[in-house]
A = this chain, B = another copy of it.
Amino acid sequence: MAQQLQAVVWTGTGVRVIDQTRLPGQLVYLDIDTVDELVAAIRRLSVRGAPALGVAGALGVVVAMRQADREGWSAGELARAIDRLRGARPTAVNLAWAVDQVAPLMPDGAAVLAAALRIQEQDAAANRAIGRLGADWLQARLRRPALRVLTHCNAGALATSAWGTALGIVRELHERTVLEVVYVDETRPLLQGARLTAWELAQAGIPHLVQVDAAAAGTVVGGLVDVAIVGADRVAANGDIANKVGTLGIALACQYAQVPFLVAAPESTVDLGTASGASIRIEMRDDEEVLVVAGQRSAPAESRAHNPAFDITPARLVTALVTEQRVLAIAAGQVPAGTNTR
C-alpha cells in the first residue's frame, strides 16, 4: 500500500496532493488548480519534502499557465505568479530548481507538462537507486545481522515521488531482511516524524519506536543505533547540509559516538551554486507553531518563540551523501559535480 502512495499527482486538470497536515488521522486529498492555493498548501506544509516540492513546483508552472489562460493574465502577471511559487519556501533548493527547469519551455504547455512529469519519474527512479546504493554501502560496512536506524523528520514517500530517500534506504534494508528497528524522532514542531514517518513505517509493517527529538543524542550515544539516515533540503558545494531543525544535533551525537551519519538525497538537491551552509537562507516560521501544541497554548501569553525550520550540518560531520549516482564521503571536502542537469 505504501508503494502506491503518491504525495503529488497530475490529474489532467490540476495538481492533487495529500494534505499532510491531516495525517495520520485522515488521508485527505486536495485538488489544486490555482497558484495561490498551491503556494498556501506549500507554506502550511500540506505538501512538503524537498523532492516532492520540486515536483509540485514544476507541475505548478502548468497550473499557472492554465490559470493565466482562464483568467486572461498578462505575461507579467504570469511571471509574478511563477516567482511567488518559486519562492514559496526558501530553503529546499528543489522547488526553485524544478521551476527553473520547466519554465523556459513556456509557452509550450505540453512541453512544460512533459518536463514536469519527467522530473517526477526521475525522482521515483532516484529513490530506488538511493535505496539500493545506501543499503549496499551499509551492508558492506556494518557487522550486525540486522540494523538499528535513527531518522528525523520525513524523508519518505510523502516527501518524494516514490519510496523516499532516507526511508528508501530503510525500506530497502527491510526488504533485504536486515532491518531491526527504526528510531523515529517525532520532529517538533509539526511532528512529521510521529505523524508521517511512523505512518509510512506502520503501513509498510516496519518495526519502529517514536521518540522525542531530545532523546536522539542519548539513543545514539547509548549504543542503541547503528546508523542515522536523514534527507536534505539543500547540499552546498562544500558538503554542508541544510535539513529539518534537529539534524545537526543528531550529527554531533553520531560524531561523538562514532556512528555513521548518512544523508540521502537526489542529485537535484546538490546546489553547486551555494558555496557553503553559511549562504543558505534558513526559513524562520511563525511563533505559533511552537507555542500552540495541538490547539492548546503551551507557554504563557507573554512568551515569544525562536522557530527556525532548518539547521546547517557542517560537511565534516557527514559520513556520506547517498544520491542516485554515488555514495560520496563528503567529510573530506568539496562535492564534485554529478551528472545532474545543472
Residues of chain A touching chain B, judged by Cβ–Cβ distance below 8 Å, are: 24-25, 152, 183-189, 191, 194-195, 198-199, 201-202, 208-219, 221-222, 224, 244-246, 248-249, 252-253, 256, 290-291, 293-300, 302-308, 311-312
Contacts and interface: CB of A to CB of B under 8 A. Distances in A.
Q: Is the interface of A mostly helix, strand, loop or mixed?
A: mixed
A290 B249 contact: no
A296 to B, nearest CB: 5
B245 A212 contact: yes
Nearest to A296: B294
Contacts of A218: 245, 248-249, 308, 311-312
A212 to B, nearest CB: 4
B211 A299 contact: no
Contacts of A306: 183, 209-211, 215, 219, 224
Contact of A307 (B191, B215, B307): B215
Given A212-B246, A252-B253, 15 more contacts: A24-B300, A152-B214, A186-B298, A186-B299, A188-B212, A194-B298, A198-B300, A201-B303, A210-B291, A210-B303, A212-B213, A215-B308, A222-B311, A293-B293, A294-B298
Contact of A210 (B152, B194, B305): B305
5 contacts: A185-B214, A194-B290, A208-B304, A221-B311, A222-B312
Given A194-B298, A298-B195, A299-B198, A210 B248 contact: no
Nearest to A256: B252
Contacts of A307: 211-212, 215
A214 B299 contact: no
Contacts of A256: 252
Contacts of A216: 249
Contacts of A214: 152, 185, 187-188, 213-214, 244-246, 249
